[in-house]
Structure formats: structure tokens, C-alpha cells
Amino acid sequence: MKIETVQGGICAVKGVRAYGLKEGNKGLTLIEGNGIAVGAFTLNRIKAAPILFTEQQLENSGGILSAIIANSGCANSFTGDEGMKNAEKMAELVSGSLGVRKEEVAVASTGHIGKQLDMALIERQLGVVAKGLTAEEAGSTAAAKAIMTTDTFLKECAIRINPHEAAKTESGPKQQTDATVVIGGIAKGSGMIFPQMNTATMLCFIYTDANLDAEALSSSLKDAVDNSFNMVVVDGDMSTNDLVLLVSTGKGGEISEPEFKTGLNVVCTELAKQMARDGEGATKLIELRVKGAASVDDAREIARAILRSPLVKSAIFGERLDLTCGRIIAAVGSCTTADVVDPHVISISFKSNNETVFLAVDRGVFTDLSGPAKDILNGKELFIEVDMGVGEVETTAWGCDLTYDYVKINVA
């Protein structure tokens, strides 16, 4: 199997058209592409109207979507009956504009909580966006830009998989077939990022032309979300609007579920890393590997505890290695539900901008953190490894530092 990165985002997928419009802090995205759909939704006990509505849509349509409409600037969350009516109205508008069944339109929103949608604005913007729908790369880019809020750059990714590439033989080079599969995604997310899904706000729309059934798509999405978006921590706050949708147009080649799952993990991981890199006010991307844990649950709990700790994150921003190590230890110890934590065998190492690894804690003992070691946190990308020393399980998570600008952005 060969995986290669391609241009085009969601529009690299056969059968998909997209476009978006951004006016000030109000944007509208429209994606057209019919196929089998599955979703992952926020576990926040207070779900926004578009989350509740889209869950109903997937049930009512038998798991088929023809279009997705998403607005930015207003979350349509905590808006009561009027909010649900407005979500339904958005689907009705798309149905009339594209000639698709209302039940096959998903709705998503991001922005301020507690405000009603400006439906006149959405209807006007939809008239422009629907006319601009295109299968060209520019359509995916416009769609990704339109859902941005505090994001500083758009987030998209696409890969092509050739599951049938033959191995190289003595008689010649590798032979490829045309039966390829494309997976493309766009996402937004910069703050209020601590998604925990069955599977401000993170939204992610993924399309593929893989010919797979709903069961395979659902299993693949759950696996990818658990390994990527559920392992991103910007600030530890769970949004009311977190949503991931995966739609298969079925217009591509045949692929096995394990092969597709591998490719989907690649796309979701890349988008998750982009979110962490773009954390509100962030100056450093943190990639954290927890290894030697007793269980998967332990590894994931420990990783999230470290990355959501404001003490750890602010120490990294201040480039204080001594404080960072101590606060990581405290965060590990705060995981009271972890089965096995032995302070005598914990090791912590750091690597900045792909430089030499520095062992800061060696099996329960701090090493010399003075001299050149103090500069290890100076880079824009920081790799941390926490070895629990009690098992064989490992996981990777992504986050960012906590800066003055985070506070400035969130009081504005």
C-alpha cells in the first residue's frame, strides 16, 4: 500500500464540490457530495442545536448525506427551540438550493454561545456560496477559510492511497493500478479544544471516495478520532459544538478496512496537529509521547492531564525546564484513576526542533538541568517523552503552551 499527500483538500475526492464565504467574523461553508455518512459528536452534556439536529438527520436519512452547511461567528448553542428551528431552516435552504432531500443535509456551527443565528445573513450568503460550488482546489480552500474563527491559518489535508501497488520485482519497477482511494479533510479549531467524542470549537469534515459500508466507516472513524482529535488539548475546555463527519461517495477504488483505517488516521492526525499548532496565542507545538504505561486508558489519561495543565503549559512558555519537569510529575500524579503509577521508575526526556534528546528525569531522579540543558525549550516544536516504566502501552498527544495572548484573545 502506498500513501501520498495530494493537493485539493476535500475537493480532491471524486464527487465532492465545496465553497465558502467569509465576511468579517461571519462565514458560511457549503459542501456537496452524496454518500454514506458517519459522525462523531461532542460529549458535552449541553449540546448545541446543530449537533442535536445533525444526529437526528443521520438517523432520519438512514446514514446518507448529500450536503453539509456550516456557519462561523455564531454557535447556535444554548438557543432553545428557536435554535433548533434555525438549524432546520438551514437544511431547508440547502435542500431548496441544491435540489437534495432536507433529511440529507448536515448542519454545523461555531462561534459565540447564547446568540441566535442571523438567518437573513445566512440565506444571503448561501445564495453566493451555492453559485460558487466547485470541484477545484480553490473550493476546499474557501470552505476551510469560511469556518475559521480565532484560527490563524486554514486547516486541510488530502492523501491518495494505492492499496494495490505491487511489490518491486527483478523484472522492473513497481506497477500501479488506477484503483486509488482519496481521503480529504478540512477542519477548524484553535481554542476551546479538548474534544471527547463518541468518536473556539473543533469542526472537521472528511470525505473519501472509498467504496466501504457504514460499519467499516464507523469503525474507522472511531479509531481515528480516538488516536487524533481526542488526543489534542489546547485549553482543556470541551465545546458544545465539536463535530466530525465522514462521508464516502463510493466513487473510488476498493480498499480493505485496515488499509482505509491507516489512511484515515494519517489525515486525522495531520489535522489534529494543525489544531494544536494553531492553539490560541500559542508559540510552541508540543508532541507528547507517553510510553511504558500499564493500559491504554492510563496512557491517554496521563497524556491529557499533562497537556491540559496550565502550570505545565505556562512553564513551557517561560522555557523553564526545571519547572516543567516538576509540573509534569505533579500532573502524572493527579491521575487518580490510573491503575499503576510508580514514581521510582518514571523517566522524562525532551527534544526541541529535532535536536538531540535530553534525559531530564532518569527513573525517578532529576538529572542536571542547568547549563545547555536550559535551552532545550527554546524551539517552536517540542517533543516530550514520559516513560512510566510499568508496562508496554504507549500513546501520542498534541498540545501547545499557554501564553499571555491566550488570555487577551479570550477576554476580547
Bin 99: left if φ > 0, else alpha if -120 < ψ < 50, else beta.
left
d(CA 43, CA 302): 20
Amino acid at 103: E
Name every residue whose Cβ is closer than 8 Å to that of residue 77 and which is 6 or more positions away in sequence.
46, 47, 48, 49, 83, 109, 113, 114, 240, 241
Choose the catalytic residue: 150, 199, 201, 395.
Answer: 199
For residue 153, the 8-state DSSP code is: S
52 burial type by CB count under 10 A (0-12 exposed, 13-18 middle, 19+ buried): middle
d(CA 117, CA 41): 21
Closest CA to 217 of 240, 244, 180: 244
Cβ–Cβ contacts within 10 Å for residue 129, how many?
26
Q: Beta 365-366 vs 2-5: how paired, if at all?
A: unpaired
Helix axes 119-132, 80-98, angle to 10 degrees: 30
Helix axes 321-333, 310-317, angle to 10 degrees: 170
d(CA 141, CA 160): 18
User: Could you tell me the three cell numbers for 103?
Assistant: 433529511
Strand partners, 382: 286, 352
Using CA atoms, how far residue 367 sits from 201, 328, 347, 362, in Å, is: 40, 15, 10, 7
Per DSSP, the three-state class of 8 is coil
d(CA 276, CA 33): 28
Cβ–Cβ contacts within 10 Å for residue 93, how many?
20
199 is catalytic: yes
User: Could you tell me the three cell numbers for 301?
Assistant: 489519561
Amino acid at 232: V
User: Could you tell me the three cell numbers for 363?
Assistant: 527513573
Bin 279: left if φ > 0, else alpha if -120 < ψ < 50, else beta.
beta
Q: Which residues are catalytic?
A: 199
